[in-house]
Chain A
Amino acid sequence: MEAFLAQLTNGLIIGCIYGLMALGLTLIFGVLKVINFAHGEFYMLGAYISYVVSQMLGLHPVLGIIIAVFAVFIIGMITEKALLTPIYENKVDQKDEYALLITFGLSIFLINAALVVFGPYQMSPQPLANGVFDLGVLSVSSGRLYAVILAVILMGITLFIINKTWLGTALRAISQDRDSSTIVGIDAKALGSIAFGIGAAMAAGAGALLAPVFLVFPIMGVVPAIKSFVIIVLGSMGSVKGAIYGALMLGVIESLGVFFLSPSYRDAYSFLLLILILVFKPKGLFGGSQWNN
């Protein structure tokens, strides 16, 4: 029973952090209608930046996470402006294909840049905290517990921005009808860059939080990115609520698979889930495709 609870807790913790990443992906898709294939590499960038700040510069790991989030927010905005602007200026005919190829190219570029700068080695950043938090029937590593608390805080900040601020109202308006938002004076290009920056920053936050758990290396973002795609398909493309619930479900299903079946196929459980969802419920568990729900 104790081992089962430990796995379940672990699943919820990992699910929360995947939720952060998936929320970023769904935010970018909702506002820009772009599937960001470089999302995993923003996760990787976040992990490397937090590693550099905490290990190389010797600052506190929490500061590393905060710097990673802000740095990738800026990098995300610049990237969107530099690479995705042609879509909104009608300079490309096949907009979806262009977005897919350009973000895929960016992903390859960032992986190779990380290889050149840091090499192919796995690096182990300092955990957020040492020791174990005793909850009676089960114990949780303090590092993971702090990670999930920070993930929930970051998700909370994002949800607050989306639902309670004028920026969020404008972003939700753009996600529904970009042309109409410009008619009421919204600078959809500028706000689109901000949305991309926030989405990339959330991936970076997830990467920085999970870096001490899964280590830091150039292709570390590939599997989490695919899991984010699983989550947003599971939770219905573009649904904020779906991204959060989908992430928690994925985390739990993975952990239960590890407990009841085998730890060797941890990643296979999520892909099996993706196939089942696509076959039996192609619109996802939450039905709609609106970023606003």
Chain B
Amino acid sequence: MLKVEGLTKHFGGTKALNGVSLEVEKQEIVGIIGPNGSGKSTLLHNITGLYLPDKGNIWFEGTDITNLPIDKRARLGIGRTFQNLRLFKLLTVWENLLVPAIQLKKPKKEMEEQAAELLELVKLSHLKNEQAQNLSIGQQRLLEFIRAMMLDSKIVFLDEPTAGFHPNMIQTFIDTLQELNRRGKTFVIIEHNIPAIMEISTRLVAIAAGEVLMSGDPHSVHSNPEVVEAYLG
């Protein structure tokens, strides 16, 4: 579904990504772990179009999207959330979900039913008319997560999705993600919450110093001495 090959990105003299290659298959839940500054978010920014790589290529469903603008990638089916929340804070919860509506050729009723269902899934229906800025951090994260689903994204990148969550909310998030995964969605998740990422992921990728250290079954990656040394300590 997604293929990244030899992705390299510099910031001044710092090499943030050093020839990263990665493949993601449909309906996988890929967890990405690595120490701070290892290049996880930079990788995500390159795939979703916020940064353009210095070298390397990105293919999505057979199309080369390396230099495609962000909005076109989104409309192809690549959604994302941010480590630092990027909601439209002065819009209501409902309006946040319907921002992409103008770009989609779907009937109004269908869009609204989709938004209502997603709100129901994350238990935020009662807040639909609240301005996004009035939600707790956890609720804002859930809103950003379901907003990414409104485009009918085929693959969604989540950057530290459980940061700031109340423990009860983590389960709501995991349940929603697994339900959407059962319906055919693919997820790539950057997360420092190791128990959560171990529970959710079908595959774990460890990154350090801009390079992929290891990719495979979550338990084998988690216990690999090289990964432990680089990240888990």
Contacts and interface: CB of A to CB of B under 8 A. Distances in A.
7 contacts: A169-B98, A176-B90, A179-B50, A180-B87, A181-B99, A182-B69, A185-B104
Contact of B99 (A169, A290, A293): A169
Contacts of A182: 69-71, 74
B99 to A, nearest CB: 4
A96 interface: no
Contact of A184 (B69, B89, B90, B148): B148
Given A172-B91, A173-B91, A183 B75 contact: no
Contacts of B99: 169-170, 173, 181, 184, 186
Interface string A169-207: 110110011011111111110010000000000000000
Contact of B74 (A166, A170, A173, A183): A183
A187 B91 contact: no
B91 A184 contact: no
B70 A167 contact: no
A292 interface: yes
A184 B147 contact: yes
Contact of A186 (B48, B82, B87, B103): B103
Interface string B42-70: 00000010100000000000000000011
Task: Determine which residue in B69, B70, B79, B104 has the highest number of CB atoms from chain A within 10 A of its CB, and name it.
Answer: B70
Interface residues of B, number: 29
Interface of A: 166-167, 169-170, 172-173, 176-177, 179-188, 191, 290, 292-293
Interface of B: 48, 50, 69-71, 74-75, 79-80, 82, 86-91, 95-96, 98-104, 147-148, 150-151
Given A167-B102, A177-B86, A188-B71, A183 B48 contact: yes
Given A184-B100, A184-B147, A184-B148, A179 B69 contact: no
Given A167-B102, A172-B91, A179-B86, 20 more contacts: A166-B102, A169-B98, A169-B101, A169-B102, A170-B101, A176-B89, A179-B50, A179-B70, A180-B82, A180-B88, A181-B99, A182-B70, A183-B74, A184-B99, A184-B100, A184-B151, A185-B74, A185-B100, A185-B103, A186-B103
A173 B102 CA distance: 12
Q: Top 6 A-B pairs ranked by shortest CB distance?
A: A185-B74, A180-B86, A166-B102, A182-B71, A182-B70, A166-B101
B88 A177 contact: yes
Contacts of B147: 184
Contact of B90 (A172, A180, A188, A191): A172
Contacts of A169: 91, 95, 98-99, 101-102
Contacts of A293: 90
A181 B150 CA distance: 13
A180 B80 CA distance: 10
A184 B102 contact: no
A2 to B, nearest CB: 45
A293 B147 CA distance: 22
A186 B79 CA distance: 12
A184 B72 CA distance: 10
A172 B102 contact: no
Contacts of B151: 184-185
B168 to A, nearest CB: 27
A22 to B, nearest CB: 21
B112 to A, nearest CB: 11
Contacts of B96: 173
Nearest to A163: B95
A167 B98 CA distance: 10
A177 to B, nearest CB: 6
A176 B91 contact: yes
A146 to B, nearest CB: 34
A176 B89 CA distance: 8
